[in-house]
Amino acid sequence: MNINQLYHKFRESSGVCTDTRQLTKDCMYFALKGDNFDGNKFVSKAFKNGAKYCVVDSKQAVTNANCILVDDTLLTLQELANYHRKQINIPIISLTGSNGKTTTKELIHAVLATTFNVKATKGNLNNHIGVPLTILSFSKDLDFGIVEMGANHIKEIEFLSNIAEPDYGLITNFGKAHLEGFGSIEGVIEGKSELFTYLKQNEKTAIINTTDKLQLKQIGNYTKTVTFGSHKNNDCVVTFKNADPFVTVIYDNVEIQSQLIGDYNFGNIAVAIAIGQHFKVPKAQVKSAIETYQPNNNRSEIISRGSNTIILDAYNANPTSMLAALKNFKQLNAKNKYLFLGDMFELGKDAEQEHQAIATFAEDNFSENINLIGKNFDKTRTLNSTHKFSTFEDLEPKIKNLTIENATILIKGSRGMALERILEIL
């Protein structure tokens, strides 16, 4: 079956699903394979749960005429997504970066949705499976589609760009994330910049933070850009006012106070404002969208528990985001501060050095109440006053025995550490 024929089947369905536990009636089920599962084994369940078609790559999985046999279900999913993207032909905004992708995507969506019919990546479905699923969820009646793209190795952003074919693209930043896959910070810069390369090769628009010298270097002399920053020569002028604790910015002589903590969120807010301005979203709508957006899913959430204020930033962590969070935490106007920092994953050969750097910075800037959790942090050289725990289970009785009152607490670590569990104990 060629892609055009498959596309007609897709149009007859209610959408695409890859998990039989989350099927929608009359959907097209793709039997994907993973390290520990084979979707071909769940075809009967898919039909029982309401699937209209099942796309499989095993002859044994073909049970009726509504099974579509292909060579590779994942490649077919990706090819179908790109074919669909060409058919709907809507403006697509893609973004990547080391930190802040999902927050930035949500802010852009919030701003544009005040005026347009917009759909964006759900959650962080931003990889080689998530991007095709996102594209296939778009329809031609949308004014914009917003696609978040993640990567942990060279050529991945190039691959995803060729699926999504964005008309506009931005990079939030370049940081020390996924060093194990990229090899080095230079590899991160090269990998993320593949989005800029796509935009330039296809004469599409790059959205540039001019305060980021690396972005300016990577975009070079390309002129099809929308620029933003505090300098008056930018297409969109946004200035940083303060972050105590919430970020406040000035846009077109209007003060906008977000519900996001940390000066590191300034760029995420500013790019959403810039996109809103570029597409002529009324200033009052831009202000309202930014001010009413609330972070969730363990991303820079501020939570009150008794007399304590907790900054929960436990969705993910890397050396760049960890350092930014610590610098922001240091400048907060609070006296009784506690740190709970969890291991940062996917750092490869740099893991020991990067965890030591964070531990040292914490000790240099916070005199007490430093708690480091995880096998990597447990290996660091620290002062006797710093508390180290190889596992969360080692930390748990320590927290239960603590009396923490009138404190400001930072909880940050990689997703695999699941440090939000601390909330259940405090």
Regarding whether 288 and 306 lie in a shared domain, the answer is no
Is residue 290 within 8 Å of residue 269, measured between CB atoms? Answer: yes
- Asked whether residue 298 carries a pLDDT value surpassing 80, the answer given is no
Regarding whether 276 and 132 lie in a shared domain, the answer is yes
Regarding whether 222 and 176 lie in a shared domain, the answer is yes
Q: Report pLDDT for 367.
A: 84
Regarding whether 186 and 49 lie in a shared domain, the answer is no
Work out how many domains the chain is built from and give that number: 3
pTM of the shown model: 0.92
pLDDT, tens digit, 9 for 90 and up, residues 247-261: 999 999 999 999 999
Regarding whether 324 and 261 lie in a shared domain, the answer is no
Regarding whether 183 and 144 lie in a shared domain, the answer is yes
27 lies in some domain: yes
Query: Which of 248, 266, 292 is the endpoint of a domain?
Result: 292
Model confidence at 200, pLDDT cuts 50, 70, 90, reads very high
pLDDT, tens digit, 9 for 90 and up, residues 58-93: 999 999 999 999 999 999 999 999 999 999 999 999
In this structure, of 102-111, 307-316, 373-382, the range with the lowest mean pLDDT score is 307-316
Q: What CATH number does the domain containing 167 carry? A: 3.40.1190.10
384 lies in some domain: yes
Contacts of 353 (CB under 8 A, 6+ apart): none
Average confidence (pLDDT) over 13-20: 94
Per-residue buried b or exposed e for 217-242, using 16+ beta carbons within 10 Å of the residue's own CB: ebbeeeeeebbbbeeeebebbbebee
Model confidence at 190, pLDDT cuts 50, 70, 90, reads very high
Percent of the chain with pLDDT over 90: 87
Regarding whether 281 and 138 lie in a shared domain, the answer is yes
Model confidence at 400, pLDDT cuts 50, 70, 90, reads confident
**Beta strands 408-412 and 308-313: pairing type?**
parallel
In this structure, of 144-148, 160-164, 239-243, the range with the lowest mean pLDDT score is 239-243
Backbone CA torsion sign across 85, 90, 91, 94: negative
- Asked whether residue 309 carries a pLDDT value surpassing 90, the answer given is yes
82 lies in some domain: no
Regarding whether 190 and 323 lie in a shared domain, the answer is no
Q: Which DSSP state fits 410?
A: E
375 lies in some domain: yes
399 lies in some domain: yes
Q: What CATH number does the domain containing 410 carry? A: 3.90.190.20
Query: Which of 71, 99, 116 is the endpoint of a domain?
Result: 71
324 lies in some domain: yes
Query: Which of 292, 316, 339 is the endpoint of a domain?
Result: 292
Regarding whether 201 and 222 lie in a shared domain, the answer is yes
Regarding whether 170 and 306 lie in a shared domain, the answer is no
Regarding whether 250 and 209 lie in a shared domain, the answer is yes
45 lies in some domain: yes
128 lies in some domain: yes
Regarding whether 271 and 320 lie in a shared domain, the answer is no
In this structure, of 14-18, 128-132, 238-242, 397-401, the range with the lowest mean pLDDT score is 397-401
Mean of pLDDT over the chain: 94
pLDDT, tens digit, 9 for 90 and up, residues 31-53: 999 888 899 999 999 999 999 99
Q: Residue 158 is part of which domain span?
A: 89-292
- Asked whether residue 297 carries a pLDDT value surpassing 80, the answer given is no
pLDDT, tens digit, 9 for 90 and up, residues 130-140: 999 999 999 99
Average confidence (pLDDT) over 317-336: 92
Stated as kind and residue range, the H or E segment containing 16 is strand 16-17
| Token digits of residue 328 | 């922001």
Percent of the chain with pLDDT over 70: 100
